[in-house]
Amino acid sequence: MDFALTEDQAQVREMVSGFAAERLAPNSRDWDETEHFPTEVFRELAELGLGSIYVDPEHGGSGMGRLEAAIVFEELSKGDVSTAAYLSIHNMVCWMVDRFATDEMRAKWLPSLCSMERISSYCLTEPGSGSDAAALKTRAEADGNSHYKLNGAKAFISGAGVSDVYCVMVRTGEDGPRGVSTVLVEKGSEGLSFGAVEKKMGWNSQPTAQVLFDDCRVPVANRIGEEGDGFKFAMAGLDGGRINIAACSLGGAAWALETATAYVQERQAFGKPLAAQQAVQFKLADMATKLEAARLMVYRAAYALDNKAPDAGMRSAMAKQFATDVCFEIVDEALQLHGGYGYIRDYGLEQRLRDLRVHRILEGANEIMRLIISRKLLEAA
């Protein structure tokens, strides 16, 4: 495996880094405090090809791989973690349409999704089934030959109420994973509504709420794939989603390490810079080593997924669990090095700490990642 980025990958990183510094970083605190969803910035990102990162160029996408996506989300998260993470969700929906839908569906949905003229949300989690996604209860029943009627609720949905398209996992058949299908629901559909916006610890640049279905009529033509294929699609999407969330953690932690390194060289204590203290030097060394280890795991998992390695799912779980845990620790250590100033909003560290905390829960809680890893090990034993 070549550890050096290709020329194309390096150019992508440079482009995204510049955008993050210019358009995300200066606005990050304001978006967090005002809970502003930056629609205009998402459309600028789409103009750079980042609204459809792994959609086939034939269908209007950028045709990049999971490794390039990890690079993109790491760099964007140095500017704003919450906004970068939402872009990952939208890209998951685009990928699902490109990968599993018919040509007719691609022609209908992808142009506006790739341009982010229409922004999308991913709806899997329910109030009574988080990590146990196969137990979902939102049901789609036939309403004549051409429509479904959806009833149920999805919980913790990023973009609920502001997104234009909702990719929804629904039960069309028996209990368990084989009875799940995937449908696209447009905002404005009769019977579609949203709960109150949740007051969250972090990720405040994107609204989170329940998505509610009350005899919501959806055309059968909006179904992705065949009935019963939805759970398979959802699990395939989560492998990439886990890598992306891990990459967003890398970006937040890298920003925190850079910020702390600059601060300890300027801050004087006992007549000399904090950086002159060996205890501080060792702390920085540990933070940098943990960050590099996490980055290597994330890139390795992305490489495995790009190359369809049989252990790609396990590696995605490993990368997500390790990187999100370790990167949260790095931000916490960076805050500690700032002393009381780290606890103040002006320095940005408390925001990164809040934003990274949820990464250890979503896309499958880290306890579930450990379960996935251990099961794979035991199967091989």
Which residues are designated catalytic?
363
Angstrom distance (rounded) from CA 329 to CA 291: 10
Angstrom distance (rounded) from CA 47 to CA 114: 9
Is residue 254 within 8 Å of residue 356, measured between CB atoms?
no
3-state class (DSSP) for residue 356: helix
Please state, as a whole number, how many other Cβ atoms lie within 10 Å of the Cβ of residue 190: 9
Angstrom distance (rounded) from CA 59 to CA 209: 31
Listed residue (123, 302, 285) closest to 213, CA to CA? 123
Listed residue (326, 122, 316) closest to 206, CA to CA? 122
Q: Where is 185: in which H helix or E strand?
A: strand 180-186
Q: Which two tokens stand for residue 31?
A: 């978006």
Angstrom distance (rounded) from CA 181 to CA 376: 26
Angstrom distance (rounded) from CA 361 to CA 348: 22
Angstrom distance (rounded) from CA 220 to CA 329: 46
CB-based burial label for 232 (10 Å; 0-12, 13-18, 19+): middle
